[in-house]
Amino acid sequence: MGAVGAQRAAPPHGRVAEPPADSDDRVTATPRLELDLPAVARAFRAFREALPEAEVAYAVKANPHPEVLALLAGLGASVDLASVGELDACLLAGIAPARMSWGNPVKKPADVRAAVAAGVTRFTTDATDDVDLLARLAPGAAVTVRLGVDDDGSATPFAGKFGVTPDGAAALLARARAAGLHPHGLGFHPGSQQTDPDAWRRGIAAATRAVERFGAPVAELNVGGGFPTRHGAGPVPDLTACADAIRGALAAHAAVPGVGTWRPHLVAEPGRVLVADAGVLVAEVVLVTERAGRRWVYLDVGRYQGLAETEGEMIVYRLRTPGHPPGAARGPVVLAGPTCDGDDVLYRHADVRLPLDLAPGDVVEFLGAGAYTASYASVGFNGLPPLPTVIHPAPDHAPRETG
Ligand SMILES: Cc1ncc(COP(=O)(O)O)c(C=O)c1O
């Protein structure tokens, strides 16, 4: 069992910079997230090998644990920030502002002020008011305009929440330039857990159209995150397939009509694929009962202790029941969380089968749970604490990885 958390100074902006449940106590109770740091390092190296031409900017939101940030920073990752809390967490992890970019197009003046004060100079935008805000508070900053792309194939699509058309992107780049900002790049995110490599091809085609409309090459292309990991039973494309799609589309679109050759600096912002497989969420069965002819299994973890991505059954985790032999007889269940909320049902429709003799006190493990879990946990719904993270190996004994 590893130790939890790390010694830290106060966050620079006086906010909570990470999920607050961590302490130096060892956590053996359930629920808990067991996170294997060497697995994060392996995933990072695999990503870099698959797409060596890209600057890899870790999407902090996937898992902002200080040990994860310190590890990835040591391995040479840049970071994609969404908030002042994430900025603080990265500053505390010793990440240089030159390796940070603010990827969230939705920001308050206070966010921009904090980022500028810390030395962040790269921002993503997708709206005229936001460009104007950046021009006012971050003059001279490098601006990347986010394109809205078709995110079919994503398990958790953005569904139009972010991004503009190629024409809109060209207009925002021009507005940024006129306002004294540097029209630095174009970007898109094909939707998280994207299982169709063609989504990156579509995004790159849209970026090329934006360059054509803008009439000049921009320095950077950000192909977002979205790289999938193995949730559920179905196959997902491997990193090589996604990298090949990116590389192929860049080559196919290198010649931009009226502009010439476009060879942008490539940035990728993986989150899930770097940390998901490093995490196992360990839970315990609280109750098993029959309701309307179905077997309901209630766990001590649910939607509000970190399993937010089960909403709409978007992400179906692989489950393991260590107390039961692999060949144990299994049957379908409805899997539910422990709170009084009717929404706190993880899976009603997904084909989830658990051992027929599963009983209160038995352990159920969620595999591939290192991403978008601990940071999603509520601070205390129904009086239940946020999900603690147990780091392996214990931080004090972990040699810091570099390179
Ligand atoms: C701007 C941005 N970049 C990167 C990511 C990471 O995506 P993923 O975890 O799918 O790799 C996200 C996730 O929401 C995002 O919003």
3-state secondary structure of 369: coil
**Both 390 and 371 in a single domain?**
yes
Q: Tens of pLDDT along the chain (403 residues)?
A: 344 444 445 566 655 444 444 444 568 899 999 999 999 999 999 999 999 999 999 999 999 999 999 999 999 999 999 999 999 999 999 999 999 999 999 999 999 999 999 999 999 999 999 999 999 999 999 999 999 999 999 999 999 999 999 999 999 999 999 999 999 999 999 999 999 999 999 999 999 999 999 999 999 999 999 999 999 878 899 999 999 999 999 999 999 999 999 999 999 999 999 999 999 999 999 999 999 999 999 999 999 999 999 999 999 999 999 999 989 999 999 999 999 999 999 999 999 999 999 999 999 999 999 999 999 999 999 999 999 999 999 876 555 555 4
Count of domains in the chain?
Answer: 2
Using the 3D structure, point to which of 241, 258, 275 is the last residue of a domain. 275
Annotated catalytic residue 242: no
Q: Which of 129, 133, 131 is CA-nearest to residue 143? A: 131
**Both 264 and 312 in a single domain?**
no
Q: Which of 56, 72, 7, 25 is CA-nearest to residue 370? A: 72
Q: Is 192 in the pocket of ligand 1 (CB under 6 A)?
A: yes
**Both 149 and 57 in a single domain?**
yes
Q: Does residue 87 lie in a domain region? A: yes
Q: Is 271 in the pocket of ligand 1 (CB under 6 A)?
A: yes
Q: Which atom of ligand 1 lies nearest, measured to the CA of 193?
A: 10
Q: Is 187 in the pocket of ligand 1 (CB under 6 A)?
A: no
For residues 290-310, one letter each, b for 16 or more C-beta atoms within 10 angstroms of the residue's C-beta and e for the rest, the string is eeeeebbbbbbbbbbbbbbbb
Q: What are phi and psi of 299, to 5 degrees?
A: -105, 170
Q: Where are the alpha helices (DSSP H) in 64-186?
A: 66-74, 84-92, 109-118, 128-137, 166-178
Determine which one of 340, 383, 399, 403 is catalytic: 340
Q: Which of 276, 273, 199 is CA-nearest to residue 48? A: 273
**Both 59 and 145 in a single domain?**
yes
Measured between alpha carbons, how far is 61 from 371 in angstroms, rounded to an integer? 8
Segments forming the whole domain that contains residue 246: 37-275
Measured between alpha carbons, how far is 22 from 359 in angstroms, rounded to an integer? 29
Ligand 1 center to residue 271 CA distance, Å? 6
**Both 381 and 324 in a single domain?**
yes
**Both 209 and 256 in a single domain?**
yes
Q: Which atom of ligand 1 lies nearest, measured to the CA of 226?
A: 10
Ligand 1 center to residue 161 CA distance, Å? 13
Q: Which of 286, 291, 279, 284 is CA-nearest to residue 368? A: 279
**Both 386 and 308 in a single domain?**
yes
Residue linked to tokens 């870099």: 48
**Both 201 and 308 in a single domain?**
no
Ligand 1 center to residue 84 CA distance, Å? 17
What CATH number is associated with residue 309? 2.40.37.10
Atom 5 of ligand 1, residue of closest alpha carbon: 225
**Both 281 and 259 in a single domain?**
no
Using the 3D structure, point to which of 275, 294, 319 is the last residue of a domain. 275
Q: Does residue 5 lie in a domain region? A: no
**Both 254 and 362 in a single domain?**
no
**Both 41 and 145 in a single domain?**
yes
Q: Does residue 188 lie in a domain region? A: yes
What CATH number is associated with residue 200? 3.20.20.10
Using the 3D structure, point to which of 254, 275, 296 is the last residue of a domain. 275
Ligand 1 center to residue 272 CA distance, Å? 8
